[in-house]
């Protein structure tokens, strides 16, 4: 098959890693795959994903859109690119790519009958995004949702028909070992005696809730855990604000903003646990990565988190109700003070990743989806629908 994959950007991130893994998997399976991003090329220090595509021989293209005002121009560019490629299947990832690809697809010549699929990675909170996503889903054969809760949101809030929705979760490649590595936190600017670390990994944006976490949880948290340091790994629009906030807090010497790091999973190995005070998600890849190295997490129980951790006693330890900051602190303190509980949660997380979220299994589901004829979808024997079709809960 000729498969076109479209995404907003190729800067390293959870959704972007999943996207590149899919491109490389489909290429390895003998399909003719090309990749389009709406944004410009990533800067040299952020080209890990484009380098992965290059190494696997997957051709990729950049639309050069640097702002919302350039969106229409990028959509026209995408339309011309896809018409020239003549894909059998087009798969869009992320909101802006969904809208651009749907708009481009609606203006295809009649001779092109390629199939269009979209991707819903989060439950969109803004109404204007919800309306645009519903419009974008119109010509799509399926909207691939990353979790059951995202699919429920798409159906109940965005009013996307149930028969357009299918769930393919994120997956993770399990490393050969989960043993803690020997990286030294001092290389990131921490004191030489900093050995007990609580770690946040993610973009420093409003979605991740990190500003509220700093003001509502961190002072109490570090007061009750005098041996621990807090490391915030990532960058984003709130970086400057967070640095000012951190400097104003008690225990500021134990709060460290270390910027974006290319091998975050290696630092997860060295941390005691991962914290994710996020406001909304789809199925956070960062939690999957922590699970893959047998680390416990503490997170608000937003979309997809419960599906990752399961309905177990260890999940109850690691999940708290959204925006319940005192409960988040209590969960973090309880885990940080009990190393045996850390081990039990970490082992349970690794087992769930192994049983339910193997990367190869999830990528194979996309291929089955593309290979099945449209008329087959939803039937009892449909290979693409098996284990993934969404139904109301």
pLDDT digits (tens, 9 = 90+) for 55-95: 999 999 999 998 888 999 999 999 999 999 999 999 999 99
Question: Count of CB atoms within 10 A of residue 18's CB?
Answer: 27
pLDDT at 170 over 90: yes
112 burial type by CB count under 10 A (0-12 exposed, 13-18 middle, 19+ buried) = middle
DSSP state of 176: S
Helix 48-56 × helix 14-28 angle, to 10°: 0
Query: How do 165-167 and 196-201 pair as beta strands?
Result: unpaired
Asked whether residue 381 is assigned to any structural domain, the reply reads: no
d(Cα 318, Cα 74) in Å, to the nearest integer?
Answer: 42
Which has the closest alpha carbon to 197: 277, 250, 243, 266?
A: 266
DSSP state of 115: E
| Cβ(369)–Cβ(363) below 8 Å | no
Q: CATH no. for residue 130?
A: 3.40.50.2000
Residue 59: strand pairing partners: 34
Is 218 found in the same domain as 306?
A: yes
Asked whether residue 340 is assigned to any structural domain, the reply reads: yes
Total domains in the fold of the chain: 2
Which has the closest alpha carbon to 308: 327, 329, 281?
A: 281
Is 350 found in the same domain as 274?
A: yes
Residue 352 vs residue 107, higher pLDDT: 352
Which tens digits make up the pLDDT trace of 1-45? 999 999 999 999 889 999 999 999 999 999 999 999 999 999 998
CA dihedral sign, ordered 192, 198, 202, 203: negative
Classify 275 as helix, strand or coil: strand
Phi/psi of residue 322, each to 5°? -55, 135
Asked whether residue 113 is assigned to any structural domain, the reply reads: yes
Is 371 found in the same domain as 258?
A: no
* Mean pLDDT computed over every residue of the chain: 92
110 burial type by CB count under 10 A (0-12 exposed, 13-18 middle, 19+ buried) = exposed
Is 244 found in the same domain as 232?
A: yes
Q: SS3 breakdown of the chain: % helix, strand, coil, rounded to 5?
A: 45, 15, 35
Q: Give a three-class secondary structure readout of 178-217.
A: CCCCCCCHHHHCCCCCCCEEEEEECCCCHHHCHHHHHHHC
Asked whether residue 259 is assigned to any structural domain, the reply reads: yes
| Cβ(134)–Cβ(157) below 8 Å | no
pLDDT at 201 over 50: yes
pLDDT at 387 over 70: no
pLDDT at 272 over 80: yes
| Cβ(307)–Cβ(283) below 8 Å | yes
Asked whether residue 63 is assigned to any structural domain, the reply reads: yes
Give kind and range of the element (H or E) at residue 313.
helix 313-318
Which tens digits make up the pLDDT trace of 285-336? 999 999 999 999 999 999 889 999 998 889 999 999 999 999 999 999 999 9
Is 205 found in the same domain as 292?
A: yes
Asked whether residue 294 is assigned to any structural domain, the reply reads: yes
pLDDT at 384 over 80: no
Is 237 found in the same domain as 151?
A: no
Is 125 found in the same domain as 45?
A: yes
| Cβ(148)–Cβ(392) below 8 Å | no
d(Cα 351, Cα 81) in Å, to the nearest integer?
Answer: 43
Is 144 found in the same domain as 217?
A: no
pLDDT score recorded for residue 376: 67
Domain that holds residue 234: 185-356
pLDDT at 379 over 80: no
pLDDT score recorded for residue 317: 93
Question: Measuring CA to CA, how many Å separate 290 from each of 196, 267, 319, 331, 380?
Answer: 16, 10, 15, 17, 35
Is 258 found in the same domain as 233?
A: yes
The pLDDT confidence band at residue 378, using thresholds 50, 70 and 90, is: low
pLDDT score recorded for residue 347: 96
Which has the closest alpha carbon to 63: 121, 3, 135, 6?
A: 6
Question: Count of CB atoms within 10 A of residue 119's CB?
Answer: 28
Asked whether residue 383 is assigned to any structural domain, the reply reads: no
Is 196 found in the same domain as 96?
A: no
| Cβ(302)–Cβ(322) below 8 Å | yes
| Cβ(359)–Cβ(172) below 8 Å | yes
Classify 44 as helix, strand or coil: helix
pLDDT score recorded for residue 392: 41
pLDDT score recorded for residue 232: 97
Is 151 found in the same domain as 212?
A: no
Is 132 found in the same domain as 215?
A: no
Which tens digits make up the pLDDT trace of 107-166? 888 777 789 999 999 988 899 999 999 999 999 999 999 999 999 999 999 999 999 999
d(Cα 393, Cα 381) in Å, to the nearest integer?
Answer: 22
The pLDDT confidence band at residue 184, using thresholds 50, 70 and 90, is: confident
Q: What is the mean pLDDT of residues 232-258?
A: 94
């Amino acid at each position: 098959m000729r498969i076109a994959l479209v995404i907003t950007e190729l800067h390293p991130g959870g959704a972007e890693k999943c996207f590149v893994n899919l491109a490389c998997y489909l290429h390895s399976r003998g399909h003719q795959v090309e990749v389009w991003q709406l944004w410009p090329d990533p800067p040299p220090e952020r080209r890990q994903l484009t380098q992965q595509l290059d190494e696997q021989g997957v051709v990729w293209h950049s639309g050069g859109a640097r702002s919302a005002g350039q969106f229409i121009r990028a959509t026209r560019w995408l339309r011309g690119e896809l018409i020239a490629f003549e894909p059998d299947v087009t798969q869009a990832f992320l909101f802006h790519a969904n809208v651009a690809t749907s708009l481009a697809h609606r203006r295809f010549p009649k001779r092109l009958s390629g199939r269009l699929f979209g991707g819903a990675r989060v439950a969109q909170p803004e109404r204007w995004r919800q309306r645009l996503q519903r419009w974008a889903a119109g010509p799509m054969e399926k909207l691939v949702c990353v979790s059951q809760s995202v699919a429920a949101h798409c159906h109940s809030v965005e009013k996307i028909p149930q028969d357009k929705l299918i769930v393919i979760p994120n997956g993770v490649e399990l490393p050969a070992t989960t043993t803690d590595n020997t990286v030294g936190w001092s290389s990131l600017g921490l004191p030489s005696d900093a050995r007990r670390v609580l770690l946040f990994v993610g973009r420093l944006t409003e979605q991740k809730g990190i500003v509220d976490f700093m003001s509502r949880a961190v002072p109490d948290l570090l007061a009750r855990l005098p041996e621990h340091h807090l490391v915030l790994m990532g960058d984003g629009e709130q970086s400057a604000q967070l640095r000012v906030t951190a400097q104003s807090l008690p225990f500021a010497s134990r709060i460290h903003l270390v910027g974006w790091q290319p091998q975050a999973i290696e630092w997860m190995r060295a941390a005691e646990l991962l914290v994710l005070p996020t406001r909304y998600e789809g199925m956070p890849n960062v939690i999957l990565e922590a699970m893959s190295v047998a680390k416990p997490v503490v997170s608000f129980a937003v979309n997809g988190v419960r599906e990752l951790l399961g309905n177990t006693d260890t999940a109850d330890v690691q999940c708290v109700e959204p925006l319940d900051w005192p409960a988040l602190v209590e969960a973090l303190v309880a885990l940080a003070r009990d190393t045996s509980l850390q081990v039990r949660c970490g082992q349970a997380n690794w087992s769930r990743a192994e049983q339910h979220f193997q990367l190869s299994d999830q990528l194979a589901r996309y291929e089955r989806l593309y290979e099945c004829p449209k008329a087959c979808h939803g039937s009892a024997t449909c290979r693409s629908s098996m284990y993934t079709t969404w139904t109301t809960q």
